[in-house]
Each structure stands twice: as structure tokens, then as C-alpha cells.
Structure 1
């Protein structure tokens, strides 16, 4: 049975979406940590997936061309994102350097739903790379599929849901490894380095 053009577009969008999402970054590091803590995982996964779907839709609708021609917007987002990532990186480094803040129970008690969602939104919407990947790049590729562009976008959105759900809920499989404080120190140390590296790339415009 031959595969339809629409199905191929959706599959292409799924694969392309995964290629952009599956990478070490601020958002993925946050989802992983929340999954390990089993704290507000559904809310975090939902925020990430819905945000990606919205950004993908914006890109396909052609707004990406407008953003691409307004560098001042990206500059503002880049500076704001870098500042936020530095602060978040400092907090992660503090957790790594202070064993008293490392237990999962402490992590559960310290971050409420509102604070967790706000952090997740900031990590998503204050990252210029998200706009370049979803709105500009993915939007451009999707529009190259003509009438099937929205199915391409649907495939990419589904890829986002699959990835963040797997990352958030699959993280619990690593819980035995993180039964020791040293594992949490290493994780938070890596998260701090990732945040600082991304912040530096934003400042340098890389």
C-alpha cells in the first residue's frame, strides 16, 4: 500500500522536529531534572510541548520571515535569555557545591507549581535558539512542502510531545542512580555548565 504525500510530510516533520529537539540544552536539562524529582512533570511536559506547537504554528504562518527581518527583537530576547540562564546556572552550581541542598526531598519542597511553570516558560521563550529552530528554520522547511506544510508541522509537534514525555517520565528509570547525593551534584554541575555555555553563546551571538 503506497504511502500518501500527506503521510510522508507528517513523517518528515516528525523526523525533522526530533532532530531539532533532541539535543543537550537548557530546556531538556530542566525537564530531565524535574523528571528525576518527579515534580510537576505533566505541567513541565505540557508547557514544553504546547510552546513548541505554538512556535511551529507561528513559523508556518510566515511570521518567521518578519522575525528574521527584525534583528532588534532577537537582540532583546538574546540579552534577556542570557541573563536568565546565568542566574539559573548559578542556582544549579550552588546546589552542586552545597550537599545540604541536593536531596530529592529538598527539591520537591522548594519548587511549587507556579515557580516551576514560570521557570519552564522562561527557559523556553527566552531562548533565541528556539525561535531560530522552530519559527525560522522549521517554518521555512515546512512551507517548502506547499499544501502539506501543516501536516509537516503536525508531525514536528507530535515529535515534541513524544520527546518531552519520554524525557520527563522516562527519567524516573534513572532514580536508582540518583539515590546518592554525588549523582545529584554531578547532574547539577553539568546543568550549570550547560546554562553558562548557552548564555555565553547568546552573549557572543553564536
Structure 2
């Protein structure tokens, strides 16, 4: 139970921390102090729904088709390895896009609540990587934990809540640190290591 929860927390956090449009949006809103709680709640709840759907749906399918378990195990390992290598590449060759996180709002005016909500939902639900990460990847790996897959989901959901609220409310305090390319290179390097280690552990006898 505890092992599955920690595995879900670790993998969920690694997937969420990876730099992307959603994280940059949350970071910007946190730095500007605009609708911070609303953005964090939308992201965390959306992730929780997708995680539960992935774990429950794929869990039922794989339980009825047991030969798919090794298939998804290798597929998940391959996906994690590729994700880890991409993170390693970003760490070695950063794009510098994170520096835009401190850009002021257009015209210096605070963003409207409706616009923030729509943007947040679009960045979350219209991103194909979200479905690969939360529904397929987390769902398939959770299935390898058998009866403890629900605890795996709990760990992943907690990771999502912790990350989004920490990023949203801590952005202002960490804005100077997060504005440096070096900090995000270190973060990407850590993501790469965690993902590659988990990928190997999935298929290592």
C-alpha cells in the first residue's frame, strides 16, 4: 500500500514537474497574483479526474486481458525512457522559454477570471500529452501494482495537488530562482534521472 502510493507520488510528480505550457501558465499567474487559487484548483481537479479515469479504466481492461500487462509494462518503460531523454536534452540544451514567465500582463491590466479559466482548461484538456501521461501511462503502470493500484492513484493525485498549489502560491517567492535558465536545467535533469530510473525498474528482472 505505502510502496504503491510512493510510486504513484514519485511518477506523478515527475510527469507534472516536466516543463510545459500548463506549468508556465500556473507560474505566470502565481507571479502576477491573479486568480491563483482558482488556477491551482482547476489544474489539480482536472489531473485527479484524468488519473482516476486512467487507473480505473485501464485497470479493468488489463484485469480481463492479462497478457496485456507485459505489453503495457514495456510500452510504459519505453515512453518513460523517451520522456526522460527529452528532459535530459532540455537540460543540456535549454530553450529559455521559462524566462517569459515574468512577462507582464497585456496593457498592465489584470486578466479577467473567465479568460483565465478558459485558458487553464484549454492548456489542461486540449493537451494530448496530458492524456498520454495521466490516462495511459499512469493507468498502465498502476495496473502493474495489482490490488494496490488505487493507492498508486492516491499517490499520483496527491503529487498533482502538492505540485500545482506549491507552484501557484510559491511562484512569487521563487520567481527570481525560477527565472534563471540554470534552475530549470537542474529541474529537467532531475526529471530525466527519475524517469529513466523508473523506466529501467519496470523491465529489470
TM-score, reference length from structure 1: 0.62
Question: What residue is the counterpart of 1:52 in the other structure?
Answer: 47
Q: C-alpha separation between the residues in 1 aligned to 2:139 and 2:146?
A: 12
CA 1:10/1:107 → structure 2, altered by over 3 Å: closer, same or farther? farther
1:174 deviates by: 4.0
SS at match of 1:61: helix
RMSD after superposition: 2.7
Q: Please state if 1:162 is matched with 2:133.
A: no
1:27 lines up with 2:41 in the alignment: no
Secondary structure at the counterpart of residue 19 of structure 2: coil
Q: Deviations over 1:142-162 (max 9, x none)?
A: 111111111100100000011
Structure 1 counterpart of 2:121: 121
Give the conservation status (yes or no) of the 8 Å contact 1:55–1:134.
Answer: yes
Structure 1 runs not aligned, ≥5 long: 1-5, 66-92, 97-101, 188-206
1:62 is paired with a residue of what secondary structure? Answer: helix
Q: Find the counterpart in structure 2 of residue 136 from structure 1.
A: 136
Q: Distance in 2 between matches of 1:54 and 1:24?
A: 21
Look up the SS of the partner of 2:18 in the other structure.
coil
**Contact preservation (8 Å) 2:7, 2:155:** yes
Q: Is 2:58–2:143's contact at 8 Å kept on the other side of the alignment?
A: no
Over 2 Å off, 4+ runs: 102-109, 174-178
Contact 1:37-1:108 at 8 Å conserved across structures:
no
Instruction: Give the count of matched residue pairs.
Output: 141
Structure 2 residues without counterparts, runs of 5 or longer: 62-96, 182-205
